[in-house]
Amino acid sequence: MINLVLAILFSSLLYIVFKFYSKFNINTFQAIVFNYVAAFLVGIVLSEEPLDFQSILSKSWLFGSFILGGLFILVFNILGKTSQENGVSVASVSSKMSMIIPILFGIFFFKESITLEKIIGIGIALIAVYFTSKKEAGKVEVKNFIFPILLFFGAGVVDTTMNYLQHTHLKDNEIALFSATTFLSAFFFGILISVFKTIKGDFKFEGKSIIGGIFLGVPNYFSMYFLIKALHNKNLESATVFTLINIGVILLSTIFGIILFKEKLLKQNYFGIVLAIIAVILVTL
């Protein structure tokens, strides 16, 4: 259970770091790219397996790690596009509602148990995600309807891929090395995009992005590391893990927002929080 709590904590810290990006005018894309380097280095330091590229090339999870790294960058860009075209609220709801994809995958692919209480809890959790996340009047324009859909499936595929790899390929002592390799892959794809932007004349390096990347990379690494550790727990099915993490992140990031940034909650947000608590109780029965 401690891994679940730590996954929620570090995932929530990511939202705090992003908030400070706007305060200190840090280039988000560049910081994201450098954050993968920081996350990679943290993983190498903590890895029980030695950094042996020859050994890594023989790992059964290598291809999946490479694909996951590409998905990190792709989903981030879709998230940015959705936020620009449809609003931050729509982007937030779309990404969090995607938890239904890994939940269904776990139920049908890994034959995880499903009870009436859990079904109701997951359903309430999805409703809670909507009401708690919606802090602005976001409207999905028909012409840009594709972006929230892509974000929904993209974020869901990321979590599902991690769930699949940890179930079928990852040993417990390889989690740190796997996480580090995945972040290195994401950095590689980030560099490719940066080169493309440079050629187009859309890229101007900002030194403070490195500092922003470090502050993001450390919690980013641990959010992924403890998520995979939580999924490794034989006493917790993935449907329960993803539901609790999503609800936990929403509740904790909301608390952080109120305390640190004096954010105001709407009535619908309070309603969502109440539903989230009910969902947690039902899912853990």
In this prediction, residue 139 carries a pLDDT of 53
Alpha carbons 111 and 109: distance in angstroms, whole number: 6
Contact at 8 Å (CB) between 71 and 158? yes
In this prediction, residue 91 carries a pLDDT of 75
Query: If 0-12 CB within 10 Å is exposed, 13-18 middle and 19+ buried, where does residue 1 land?
Result: exposed
Backbone CA torsion sign across 226, 158, 249, 80: positive
Which of 275, 236, 238 is CA-nearest to residue 100?
238
Alpha carbons 6 and 22: distance in angstroms, whole number: 25
Alpha carbons 182 and 79: distance in angstroms, whole number: 19
The DSSP code for 174 is: G
Alpha carbons 213 and 27: distance in angstroms, whole number: 10
Top pLDDT among 66 and 253 is at: 66
- Mean pLDDT across the stretch 188-193? 92
Side-chain-facing half-sphere of 75: CA atoms under 13 Å: 22
Backbone CA torsion sign across 160, 167, 176, 185: negative
Residue-wise burial string across 103-132, b where 16 or more C-beta atoms lie within 10 A, e elsewhere: bebbbeeeeeebeeebeebbebbbbbbbbb
What are the extents of the domains in the chain? 2-112+138-237
Q: What rounded mean pLDDT belongs to the chain?
A: 86
Query: In the chain, what percentage of residues exceed pLDDT 90?
Result: 36
Alpha carbons 61 and 170: distance in angstroms, whole number: 7
In this prediction, residue 64 carries a pLDDT of 94
Other Cβ atoms less than 10 A from the Cβ of 143: the count is 8
Angle (deg, nearest 10), helices 116-133 and 238-261: 30
Alpha carbons 67 and 240: distance in angstroms, whole number: 25
Asked if pLDDT for residue 112 goes beyond 80, the answer is yes
Asked if pLDDT for residue 135 goes beyond 70, the answer is no
Q: What is the band of 138 on the pLDDT scale with cuts at 50, 70, 90?
A: low
In this prediction, residue 66 carries a pLDDT of 94
Residue pLDDT, tens place only, 214-242 = 999 999 999 999 999 999 888 888 989 99
Residue pLDDT, tens place only, 201-218 = 877 888 899 999 999 999
Contact at 8 Å (CB) between 159 and 242? yes
Residue pLDDT, tens place only, 148-173 = 889 899 999 999 999 999 999 988 88
3-class secondary-structure state, position 61: coil
Query: In the chain, what percentage of residues exceed pLDDT 70?
Result: 93
In this prediction, residue 70 carries a pLDDT of 94
Residue pLDDT, tens place only, 27-58 = 888 899 999 999 999 998 888 777 777 788 88
In this prediction, residue 244 carries a pLDDT of 92
Residue pLDDT, tens place only, 53-88 = 778 888 999 999 999 999 998 988 888 777 667 766
Q: What angle do CA 27, 28, 30 make, to 5 degrees?
A: 70
